């Protein structure tokens, strides 16, 4: 009994140190089929497709995060860092917690599983670095376009028929060579001479306007990207590539926090405020 009390007393003294360790442990990790940033669950994140991009950024097939916070109006399909971060490798194990410490102490005193390290108990699903399971896939690295020898690659997959000699990465997932335009490694058009990537996922050529690789209804006449996902042409305004119904392009202006207005109406996230 004295030994148990002594062990528990030691555990109590170590709680602050363990808590501090948990707070200092940074980065993205996967535990029991959930994605965490530090000790916070990222409920919207998909553990099967999450990629640690480095420098605090991560993305899955649908969303992009910075330091665990969801970034609105960012297209995960084309988002990448301008400078690739070092390969982060497999998802790290979750921080060693108080429950693990107490389980280890009680197990050691009672003689249960004497060779087992604290925390490595059934149901906790800790994964050592360098190991991988179906529940804990590794965080992959997003690298974007690369030219290796005479071939062009997008995230490690060869870009079909791309010319390495004339290839240019335009940003936002767009690229072109002397014959074609590409979006995320796939051919978009055969009209590269007038094609240019703008900002916020928008791009245009002589005839069409695109939003994250999809042709939209906008006119190239007077087309201009504003901010926060908004854009306009000579006639209408657009939000995330979709026409803002009833808007006037000639008087449209973006305010803050998703709001915009024209000469007659106010809009929020592309919808008329009633």
Q: Is the pLDDT of residue 41 over 70?
A: yes
Task: Give the model's pLDDT for residue 164.
Answer: 95
Q: Dihedral of the CA atoms 38, 40, 46, 52 (nearest 10)?
A: -20
Domain ranges of the chain: 2-110, 144-197, 202-274
pLDDT digits (tens, 9 = 90+) for 149-170: 999 999 889 999 999 999 999 9
pLDDT digits (tens, 9 = 90+) for 256-266: 888 999 999 99
pLDDT digits (tens, 9 = 90+) for 73-109: 788 877 877 655 554 444 444 444 434 433 443 344 3
Task: Give the model's pLDDT for residue 237.
Answer: 97
Q: 159: which residues sit within 8 A by CB, 6+ positions away?
A: 145, 151, 152, 153, 175, 182, 185
Q: Dihedral of the CA atoms 205, 229, 50, 152 (nearest 10)?
A: 20
Kindly report the backbone phi and psi dihedral angles of residue 207, in degrees, each rounded to the nearest multiple of 5, phi listed first.
Answer: -120, -30
Is pLDDT larger for residue 243 or for residue 87? 243
DSSP string computed for 113-170: STTSPTT--TTS----TT---SSSPPPB----EEEETTEEEETTEE-TT--TTT-EEE
CA distance 165 to 197: 20
Is pLDDT larger for residue 110 or for residue 2? 2
């Amino acid at each position: 009994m004295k030994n148990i009390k002594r062990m528990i007393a030691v555990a109590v003294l170590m709680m602050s140190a363990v808590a501090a360790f948990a707070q200092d442990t940074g980065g993205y990790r996967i535990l029991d089929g959930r994605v965490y940033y530090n000790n916070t669950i990222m409920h919207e994140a998909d553990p099967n497709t999450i990629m640690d991009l480095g420098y605090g950024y991560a993305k899955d097939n649908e969303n992009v995060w910075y330091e665990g916070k969801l970034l609105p109006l960012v297209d995960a399909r084309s988002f990448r860092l301008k400078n690739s971060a070092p390969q982060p490798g497999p998802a790290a194990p979750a921080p060693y917690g108080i429950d693990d410490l107490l389980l280890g102490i009680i197990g050691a005193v009672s003689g249960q599983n004497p060779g087992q390290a604290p925390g490595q108990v059934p149901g906790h699903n800790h994964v050592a670095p360098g190991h991988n399971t179906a529940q804990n896939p590794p965080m992959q690295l997003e690298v974007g376009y690369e030219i290796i020898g005479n071939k062009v690659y997008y995230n490690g997959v060869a870009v079909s028929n791309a010319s390495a000699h004339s290839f240019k990465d335009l940003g936002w997932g767009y690229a072109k060579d002397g014959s074609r335009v590409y979006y995320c490694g796939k051919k978009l058009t055969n009209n590269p001479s007038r094609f240019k990537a703008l900002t916020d996922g928008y791009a245009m050529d002589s005839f069409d306007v695109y939003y994250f690789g999809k042709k939209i209804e906008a006119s190239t006449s007077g087309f201009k990207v504003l901010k926060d996902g908004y854009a306009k042409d000579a006639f209408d305004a657009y939000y995330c590539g979709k026409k803002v119904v009833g808007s006037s392009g000639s008087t449209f202006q973006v305010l803050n926090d998703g709001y915009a207005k024209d000469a007659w109406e106010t809009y929020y996230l592309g919808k008329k405020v009633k």
